[in-house]
Amino acid sequence: MRKPLLLLAMALAASSCLAAVEINQATEAELDSVKGLGPSSTARILKARSQGAFKDWADFMARVKGIKPKTAAKLSQEGLTVNDAPYQGPNAAAQ
């Protein structure tokens, strides 16, 4: 009885560790793994990031075409962070 519970606890812990993807450090493959990001948006992110790290979500949305508050909220729910922070915009709580 203990063994299945232990395995379940370990699986949950592992999944929570893998959930966050920090935009300023993520590889192309890690960004592509975030639901809602595809090859073209990942390319735009990497191009903007090559000019300097994103300071916050507002900076990220200003520098990457196509990332608006609704999209940022969805990406944050999928585990994307900017400087280890989730999106806290007006639509974040509603999503």
Q: Is the pLDDT assigned to residue 20 strictly greater than 60?
A: yes
Task: Quote the tokens at residue 6.
Answer: 């232990």
Average pLDDT over residues 41-58: 97
3-state secondary structure of 49: helix
- Across the range 42-56, mean pLDDT stands at 98
The answer to whether 28 touches 46, Cβ cutoff 8 Å, is: yes
pLDDT at 14: 45
